[in-house]
């Protein structure tokens, strides 16, 4: 099965289509025009709406069209079309020289937003919006979902095995953004290599605990995961932040 196969780079096509509506929330507006040359990592579309995330080009090349194209759901959506020039020239990275302890919550949220990070679920919810708890809300802990209980999914497994330090770094940034000192990493017991890798990577940080979970479906579902790790049952209609 694929849990033993390393992560590999996908083949990059000659033409890429970037829908301007990729998630729940407001669609983006183009920041480029037909004929413009773009670089890998360059922001090509954005929105002023609070629930939205910018879009970046994943290749260097030329904008050949801004037009309606079929989206993943088959509906036509305004899109930016980029012809890949194969040079893979990169834009200046969105980076900071500050250590985590030197970053404010606002700085972390800004960086996450500018990076265009969204959730991997069907809604593609903009991540930066989740990092700003409602006024008066006290967050006790962050739970990192490494359960991956679906039988044919292994991408989270491989990520934890191959890049555990980066996973823990991301978790620490989330903890800093929402102002907590405690976090749990839930991983099903049938992934001993991932559990070991996450334990080793999180060992220097006292507030992070790796929790082996019983193998069952749907262990990775939000409500199941919260109960398995904390013993608490989320009331109907409530969000984890509540």
DSSP-assigned states of every residue in 87-116: ---BPPP------GGG--HHHHHHHHHHTT
Rounded CA Rg of the chain: 20
pLDDT tens track, the chain, 242 positions: 789 999 999 999 999 999 999 877 899 999 999 999 999 999 999 999 989 999 999 999 999 999 999 988 889 999 999 999 999 999 998 777 788 889 999 999 999 999 999 988 777 889 999 999 888 888 999 999 999 988 889 999 999 999 999 999 999 999 999 999 999 999 999 999 999 999 999 999 999 999 999 999 999 999 999 999 999 998 877 778 77
In CATH, which of 3.40.640.10, 3.40.50.11540, 3.40.50.300, 1.10.1300.10 is domain 133-230? 3.40.50.11540
CB 130 within 8 A of CB 23: no
Residue 67: CB partners within 8 Å, gap ≥ 6? 78, 79, 81
**Sheet holding 15-19: strands in order across?**
15-19, 76-84, 61-70, 37-38
Q: What is the structure's pLDDT at 219?
A: 93
Q: What is the structure's pLDDT at 229?
A: 96
Residue 214 CB neighbours (<10 A):
11
Burial 67-90 (b: 16+ CB within 10 A, else e): eebebeeeeebbbbbbebeeeeee
The pair phi, psi for residue 79, each rounded to 5°, is: -140, 155
CB 67 within 8 A of CB 30: no
* Burial label, 235 (beta-carbon count in 10 A; 0-12, 13-18, 19+): exposed
Q: What is the dihedral of CA 123, 214, 206, 192, to 10 degrees?
A: -100
Q: Give the Cα separation of 107 and 111 in Å (integer).
A: 6
Q: What is the structure's pLDDT at 28?
A: 96
Q: What is the structure's pLDDT at 50?
A: 86
Domain ranges for the chain: 2-84, 133-230
Q: What is the structure's pLDDT at 87?
A: 97
Helix (H, G, I), strand (E, B) or coil at 37: strand
Q: CATH code for 2-84?
A: 2.40.50
Strand ranges in 14-86 using DSSP code E only, listed in sequence order:
15-19, 29-30, 37-38, 43-46, 55-56, 61-70, 76-84
């Amino acid at each position: 099965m694929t849990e033993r196969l390393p992560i590999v780079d996908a083949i990059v096509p000659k033409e890429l289509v970037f829908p301007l509506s990729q998630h729940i929330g407001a669609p983006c507006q183009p920041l480029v025009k037909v004929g413009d040359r773009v670089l890998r990592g360059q922001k090509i579309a954005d929105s002023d709406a609070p629930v939205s995330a910018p879009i970046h080009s994943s290749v260097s090349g030329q904008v050949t069209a801004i037009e309606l194209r079929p989206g993943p759901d088959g509906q036509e959506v305004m899109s930016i079309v980029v012809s890949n020039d194969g040079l893979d020239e990169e834009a200046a990275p969105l980076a900071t020289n500050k250590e985590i302890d030197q970053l404010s919550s606002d700085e972390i949220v800004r960086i996450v937003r500018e990076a265009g990070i969204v959730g991997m679920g069907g809604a593609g919810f903009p991540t930066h919006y989740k990092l700003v708890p409602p006024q008066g809300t006290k967050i006790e802990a962050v739970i990192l979902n490494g359960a991956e209980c679906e039988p044919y999914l292994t991408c989270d497994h491989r990520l934890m095995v191959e890049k555990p330090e980066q996973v823990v770094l991301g978790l620490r940034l989330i903890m800093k953004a929402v102002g907590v000192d405690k976090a749990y990493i839930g991983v099903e017991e049938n992934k001993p290599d991932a559990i070991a890798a996450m334990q080793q990577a999180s060992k220097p940080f006292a507030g992070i605990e790796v929790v082996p979970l019983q193998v069952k479906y749907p262990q990775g579902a939000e409500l199941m995961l919260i109960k398995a790790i904390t013993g608490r049952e989320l009331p109907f209609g409530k969000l984890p932040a509540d």
